[in-house]
Each structure stands twice: as structure tokens, then as C-alpha cells.
Amino acid sequence: MGQTQLALLALLLGVAIGGSVVLLVFVALRARDRQRAEVSTDLPDGVADVLEAMDDPAFVCDTSGTVLAASAPAEIFAMRVGDTIPDDDLRRVVRAARERRGSVVENLRLRRGAAPAEPRLVAVRATSMTPRLTLVVLRDITERERVEEMRRDFVANTSHELKTPVGAVSLLAEAIEMAADDPAQVRAFASRLTAEASRLGALTSRIMSLSRLQASDELKEVRDVSIDEVVTSAVEAHALQADSAAVTVVRGGTRGLYVRGDAQVLTEAVGNLVANAIAYSPAGSSVGIGVKATDGVLEIAVTDRGIGIPESDQQRVFERFYRADQARSRSTGGTGLGLSIVKHAVQRHGGEVRLWSRVGRGSTFTIRLPLSTPPDHEPVKPKNRRKARKKADAATRSEPVKGDTI
């Protein structure tokens, strides 16, 4: 072998040995970095900046459960830098993610702030970043679950409520067919059939009204609405009901007030309160309707001297199909939707409904709406004004109808 060949062989051998040394050094450095990461609690570059930009509550914690970095919304759930995770279940989820070296997703009940704050349903996602660091993202799903539960209840309750009149109509139709040779029986069954059909129609109409109020974001016919007209229409619509129940409807308060909204929706809302008050008032008593304006807010109060509502039921009376007095609702033909319609109708107008009630003393439902500036009208002559006042007062005396109550 020549000297040239020996030199080339020596060069190749040196390169091979040098490359192996470089590779060994690189592997050793990577192992050292990995070992440091396993014991380090230093945040990776950019993590804190990402957390600051997040709208959801999120934080990074170490193996002791100490929060090292957090987004601003995380403070809602008491996750502050330097503090430890306060909830045992949340610590359990973080520990599980660290042990699996992956992600764990679970729904938990977490308190927003200290007791007695109400626990919220929160979707928790914990992801292991390093052996010692865990990223936790929280999402409050309380409202979503509440709406879904309301939807399920609405479908179940509607099916149940429709089943009763539909079954009654079917049975009465069969009874009429079997009693075809007995005119008296046919007339009796036909009368009951008409009543059940009316009840079914009223229930369907109220379900549609409530669905429209819940589904639409905007009111259809928005204008300056006279509250005098709303109250008069609501009273006239239930005059026969009041007369049949021997209940007097008395109207008082300020006149000439206006709100911005849908006259038909507001009339139905006030009418529902009037019908309710009549249905739950004893014979010979009175139902009062008072109107006033305070600090830019219009108030329409409907008061009865009836049985009252227990305190335990007062938060639920605005729920769909809820009836505080089941037996009385059945006897009066109530659907359990009237107060729910009132609540949604008033909310659509940017207002609220308040309730005061005492068992044995009666109840007062108050609709509160933003007051509107009266539109420009041609002035009413004194003579015509007296006539209009007498007509409005006569409408409040009583005639409302036996029909559907709430």
C-alpha cells in the first residue's frame, strides 16, 4: 500500500471517529436537556403570552398544584399565580393528566369565588406539558346545560299536556258514536267534546305564543303603545270571566303613559295577569290594576286578594307548565303557560316582572318597563275627554270570561 493510500485511510478513520464523538456529545446534551425538563418548573417560552390572550379561564400548574401562570378570567375561579388549586376534584383531574402524560377531560362543579357563591358546571381539560407542568383550561357550560335541560323539559311537558285533551277528545268521540240513538247523551258528550277541543286549542295557541317569544330576537310591530289602551283591552277581554266569578276589576293610577313596544304582546301579558288574578280570587272580592311611573320606569301592578303563593313556589311560578295549585288549575282549565308568557313578553321589551305574595293575603305581579315619551297627538276636547274617561272606567268594572285561565 502506497503512502498516498495510507494517508487517505488515516483521514477517513479520523473523520469517522470525529463524527462519532460529535454524535455522542449531541445525544448527551439532549439527554441532559430532557432530564432538566423533567425536574424544571420553568415555563416554556411563549406560554405566559398565550395565556394572557385567552378568553377562557386557563392556568399552568406544577406537581404541587401551585399556579405558575394564569389567564385573566381564571381569577373568577380563584386561580391566582402563586396560590394552590383550591378544589380537590380539580387537583384529581390534574394529577390524572400528569400520570397519563396526556389529556383528561371531565365536567366538574366548581365555585366561582368563595362560598356562598353558587357552584357552576365547568368542562375541565387538563393536558400534561412536561412531567412537572400541566395546562388546565376551564369552560363554564352552566347556561348551555340549563338551556338544554329546559328544552328537554319543554318537549316532555308539552307531550304530557297535549296527551290529556287529545285522549279525552278520542274517548268522547267514541262515546258519541256508541250513544247515537240517545239524543240527550249525544248533546252531553258533544258539549264536553267542545270544551276539550277549546282547551286543546288554547294550549296549542299558548305554546305557539311562547315559542315565538323565545325564538325571535326582535318584536314585529314596534311603536309607541298607550298603556291606557293596553289595560282597557286586557280588562275587556276578561270581563265575562270576572262577571262569572263575581269578581270586580278596579283600575287606578296614572293615565296617559306610553312605552315603546308591541301592543298585542303587551296586551296578552297584562291579560294573563288579570285572568290569573280573577281565577285565584274568591267570589265577592276585587282585582286591582294600578299604573304609575317612577324614575323613567313604568309599573303595571295587578293585585288580587286570593289564596296567595307559598314562598317555596314563588321562584318557580314563571316556569313553563308549573302550577302552584294543581287541583285549582285543573278546575279552572289553566295551562301553566300564562306566567311564562308574561315573563318572556316583558323581557322582550327590556323589562322585568316582580312578584309579592303572602299565603291567605293575595299576590301582586308588577310589570316594569322603560317609559317612553308620549307621541304628539291632537288635544282632546274636555267634553270628549270626559266621554273617553267614562268609557275606559266602564270597561274596568267587570264582564270577563269563563274561558282559559293561566
Structure confidence at residue 320 (pLDDT): 63
Structure confidence at residue 398 (pLDDT): 38
List all residues 6 or more positions away from 121 whose beta carbon is below 8 Å from its beta carbon.
107, 108, 109, 140, 141, 142, 145
Residues of the chain with pLDDT under 70: 1-41, 113-117, 150-151, 153-161, 163-164, 199, 202-220, 320-336, 376-406
Structure confidence at residue 192 (pLDDT): 80
Which pLDDT tens digit goes with each residue over 143-189? 788 777 766 766 666 666 676 677 777 888 888 888 878 888 888 88
My answer on whether omega of the bond before 379 falls inside 30° of 0, hence cis, is no
First to last CA, the chain: 113
Amino acid letter for position 302: V
- pTM higher than 0.85: no
Fold of 221-395: Heat Shock Protein 90 (3.30.565)
Amino acid letter for position 101: R
H/E stretch holding 358: strand 352-358
Query: What letter does residue 311 receive in the DSSP assignment?
Result: G
Amino acid letter for position 404: D
State whether residue 186 is helix, strand or coil: helix
CB atoms within 10 A of CB 355: 14
Structure confidence at residue 195 (pLDDT): 74
Structure confidence at residue 176 (pLDDT): 83
Alpha-carbon distance of 77 to 86, in angstroms, equals 9
Tell whether the torsion through CA atoms of 221, 222, 224 and 228 is positive or negative.
positive
Strand partners, 105: 125
How far, CA to CA in Å, does 183 sit from each of 178, 188, 197, 353?
Answer: 11, 9, 20, 50
47-140 falls under which CATH superfamily? Answer: PAS domain (3.30.450.20)
Which pLDDT tens digit goes with each residue over 132-150? 899 999 998 887 887 777 6
